[in-house]
Structure 1
């Protein structure tokens, strides 16, 4: 799925780990991602979290899409920050799932959380699947 994701690859997002219900992706904040306040635009941070979420919820095979998401911006990211998004499944029920994603950067003092994301997924039927 990620190989065909032009939005994520254009931004340099890399998938570094994936397993059942989990994924880790990274991205470096570039000059084109910084807004007029000299911090990373929230849309790019959301996109990184959403990419990790998508990889985690699609790790089981069937096509799964976002049904909704909520994000909390915890700290600003800045030009040159290397960000890591770690997605973990909280629960799956029927064709639905809930996933949490933490986006952070490493500092000398340890991990600095930038964003917390909760995504809701929905597995969709493919043509020929039964409802």
Structure 2
């Protein structure tokens, strides 16, 4: 049983449960920096295996960072929630060694559907914007809370 006293603790407990089995995000070297209801921040350093034939970070890795941030943002209410789709716009390139930071936030949550925005930055420079659409599956992330 997980004991939570407020929505911030619930968000953190949900994130901890997800993070414990998230081999994809951890395998890419992502770090879960913060989480609160409807919000999450993840970071990732661009490694040599992420650089494409143009010498820049492959867009798929940037999209994956944004998607992971989206996942942690939309799973803060103790309901298993998945992506129903997303779109991403790349504004700047990222390069080997760059530290990327993605900030996700809930825009709207109606019934089982939600919209989340994620901004990916390199320092102060916005390099990508992502909009994700979520759908809850109606079952809890944490089996029992009190």
Shift of 1:125: 2.7
Q: Paired residue for 1:126? A: 139
TM-score (norm 2): 0.82
Q: What is the total number of aligned residue pairs between the two structures?
A: 123
Distance 1:46 1:4 in 2: 20
Aligned to 1:28: 45
1:14 pairs with 2:23:
no
Please say if 1:84 is aligned against 2:101.
yes
1:91 match: secondary structure: strand
RMSD: 1.0
Name segments (4+ residues, structure 1) moved above 6 Å. Answer: none
Distance 2:109 2:79 in 1: 13
Aligned counterpart, 2:82 = 65
2:69 corresponds to 1:52: yes
How far apart, in 2, do the equivalents of 1:101 and 1:90 lie? 10
Q: Structure 1: any 5+ residue segments left out of the alignment?
A: none
Superposed CA offset, 1:12-44 (max 9, x none): 101100000000000000000000000000000
Q: C-alpha displacement at 1:2, in angstroms? A: 2.0
Q: Which SS does the other structure have where 1:4 is aligned?
A: coil
**Aligned mates of 1:98, 1:81 — CA distance in 2:** 28
Relative to the length of structure 1, the TM-score reads 0.92
2:15 is matched with none
Whole-angstrom distance in 2 between the partners of 1:100 and 1:126: 24
Instruction: Structure 2: give runs of 5+ residues left out of the alignment.
Output: 1-17, 141-146
**What is the DSSP-based 3-state SS (H/G/I as helix, E as strand, rest coil) of the residue aligned with 1:48?**
helix
Separation of aligned partners in 1, 2:77 and 2:98: 31
